[in-house]
Amino acid sequence: MAAVIVPIFPLPDVTFFPGTLLPLHVFEARYRAMVHDALDLQRRIAVVQLKPGHDANYAGKPAVHAIAGMGEIVGAERLPTCRYNIVLRGQCRVRIEGEMPSDTLYRIVAAERLEEDGPRGDVTPALERIRTACRRLLKALDRPLDLLDATLAPSQPPGIIADKIAAAVLPSASLRQELLETLDVARRLERVGTALDELIRELTGGRE
Q: 26 pairs with which residues across the strands?
A: 84
Question: Would you say residue 208 has pLDDT above 80?
Answer: no
Question: Would you say residue 3 has pLDDT above 90?
Answer: no
Q: Which segments of the chain belong to CATH 2.30.130.40?
A: 4-114
pLDDT, tens only, 109-157? 999 999 999 888 999 999 999 999 999 999 999 999 999 999 999 999 9
Residues 6+ away with beta carbon under 8 Å from 12? 49, 50, 54, 173
| pLDDT in the model for residue 165 | 98
Residues 6+ away with beta carbon under 8 Å from 175? 166, 195
> What percentage of the chain reaches a pLDDT higher than 70?
95
Helix (H, G, I), strand (E, B) or coil at 83: coil
Which fold would CATH assign to domain 4-114?
A: 2.30.130
